[in-house]
Amino acid sequence: MLGGFCQPEDLFSSMTNIAFLLACPAGEVTLERIEELMSLQLAEGSALEYKVSKTERLLSTIAAFANTRGGLILLGVKDQTGVDRMMGVTDKEISTVVSSCRDQLDPPFLPEIITLRVPGDEVRYVAVFRVYPELSPRPVVLNGKVFVRFHDRNDRADQVRIRQLFSEHSGVTLAQNSYIQAPLLQQESPEIDICIRTGMTFPIDATSAGRPLSESSVKALIEALNQSALNQRLVKWISDLDISSINPFRKDGLNRSRTVRLTWQGVEYFGQEEFHAAECIVHIDSSALGTEPPRLLQLTLDVVIRATSQSAKRNPARWTEADVVRISLPDLYETMDAIVKTLVDEAVVEPIAALAGISPQLVPRPMSMHFLTGRGIANQIENLGLRLVVDSPTSSGAQLLGDASLDVNEESDRKRQLDQWLTQVALDGSLDGMESLLVTYHEE
């Protein structure tokens, strides 16, 4: 390193690392890899920026990366060489950035955000922002201004470039439609045991672009979900949790002409508080990637279990950390199976296809799943038959990618896919033994 510039071999290494961190699954963006990148003492450039805290420049960088070739932003890291650069930011600061992206960017645009806890600090995180131009609207406008990235600067685009951006469109291809952003769940969120997300993104027929989402199709989807395998599994969850009240799938929360939010809830009351120990949220957005007119429809489905919080609320005087509810393998397998089975069920697929004005055969199967835990995988799932790897830090979650050779419509292929995913969950949680445990589970 001379005068703040990289030697050629360092530049090659740094670009490899930046490219890897942008392209790898979210679960592989680890604190160790961020520290390795920082150890190269790289200056900010066309695809990299550091930020100690949320500033106006942070939003202009998000917009500029989206309007150019994408990039990596490390929030909570000093832009200087040397040690002690990792300052971290709080949950509140990250939430402020999220709100600003929705309020100040036009169209509202939120990059992927991965949070990593600062070592030795219980409340501060490094937030890794990954901006993908192929998943961004064109252009992203900040307070009426269009920015593009030039070296380490965010410059105002000239009229020629602005016209080019308006003529461009999101480069999402069918192969990229498996991308579903991970839930914004901070590491070690003890109010949640597990959060499982899946979904799909796919093109809207040209004749349906710009139209409101059909009320009759939404109604048909609600009816199909309330008769689905997922509904049955959620009912079993609340039966096991000894809850008697259910809010079935229905419209709930922010619903607009191009946005639908459906929820299913197992309801218990603690005083005036309505508590949901088991919950499912389905979000549909026909302008999810900000294209105008809308050309893509995105559906995400989240299942959230809060059994430990329920136990703590029922017995606040006697509850201790030793009473954490660990999720069993049958519960995990059956829940993930019900989610996938529901999203390939013809009765569910048909109204989803109608919302996009396409044939049901064109609705893709879910090709990815995010699995997150509140206390770390090894501390949240039942470890009977599993072995914790000595001195290996556990992960809070895993990004699970589908095997394109498997047809999850078929029970045998769906079983193979779920076995692969659960094995990855265990391994990412530093737990050995899931493969043999699954063999025994299927034999019973």
**H or E element that contains 396:** none
**What proportion of the chain, given as a percentage, has pLDDT over 70?**
88
Domain boundaries, the chain: 8-168, 176-443
Q: Is the pLDDT of residue 289 over 60?
A: no
* pLDDT of the residue at 10: 34
Residue 89's Cβ-side half-sphere holds a number of Cα atoms within 13 Å equal to 24
Q: What is the pLDDT of residues 214-268, one digit of tens each?
A: 999 999 999 999 999 999 999 999 999 999 899 999 999 888 888 999 999 999 9
CATH code, residues 8-168: 3.30.950
Average pLDDT, the chain: 85
> Rounded to whole angstroms, how far apart are CA atoms 444 and 429?
25
Q: Residue 107, preceding bond cis, omega within 30 degrees?
A: yes
Tokens 């990299």 correspond to what residue?
Answer: 48
**pLDDT top residue among 357 and 168:** 357
* pLDDT of the residue at 414: 95
Q: Is the pLDDT of residue 330 over 90?
A: yes
Model's pTM, two decimal places? 0.64
Of 10-19, 372-381, 426-435, minimum mean pLDDT range: 10-19
Would you place residue 5 in the very low, low, confident or very high pLDDT band (cuts 50, 70, 90)?
very low
* pLDDT of the residue at 24: 73
Would you place residue 83 in the very low, low, confident or very high pLDDT band (cuts 50, 70, 90)?
low
Q: Are 370 and 196 in contact (CB under 8 A)?
A: yes
Q: What is the pLDDT of residues 100-151, one digit of tens each?
A: 887 888 888 888 888 888 888 878 999 999 998 767 777 899 988 999 998 8
Which string of DSSP letters, residue by residue, matches 148-200? EEETTEEEEP-HHHHHHHHH------GGGTT--PPP---SS-TT-SEEEEEEE
